[in-house]
Amino acid sequence: MDKYNEVAREIADELSNTLNSIESESVYKLIEEIQKAEKVFFVGVGRVLLSLQAIAKRLAHLGTQTYIVGQITEPAITEKDLLIVGSGSGESAFPLIIAQKAKQYHATVIHIGANPNSSMKKYSDLFIRIPVSTKLELPGEIPSVQPMTSLFEQSLLLLGDAIALMMIKEKDIDMHNLWEYHANLE
């Protein structure tokens, strides 16, 4: 076997193991909160933010009003809205400040992360654990051969795609009709 196939298999195995380790009940609750929210906001930093941007875009294709915190057209958050925080450690300063601010406006806050006992816990209404290895070396972490937090960011993106597919199936959406929501100024 060549090196590429070996590495690709290792990554795919890690992702499969991780996605199958996420508590499904928390995913169902997240979907429920997304569906009842008027607007869904996302906050994260670095590669986590890139995964969240992709999730926001996919949910927008399903008709959900989504916003990335800081985008120029971001509206006000209210008690009818949801903030999804992506932070593996739950200690990143910017997401913590935004979660605290969202709670001041009585929005629902959901944290998707790897550390169940982080500072984010204080502001979260729901925690979804992606149980991957962190620098904290917590019990139950799934180890990774990949650098830094790659497994978390990849798993976050695929969790978002799984949520979108679950919503599509639940609503019995014809996938071909989703193209009407796709960007057309390209």
- What SS3 class is residue 98? helix
Give the span between the Cα atoms of 83 and 40, in whole angstroms: 6
Active-site position among 91, 153, 180, 186: 153
Give Dmax over CA atoms of the chain in angstroms. 55
Whether 153 is catalytic is yes
Residues 185, 84, 150, 144: what is their CA dihedral angle, to the nearest 10 degrees? -150
Q: How far apart are the first and last CA of the chain?
A: 40
Tokens of 111: 């944290």
User: What is the set of active-site residues?
Assistant: 153
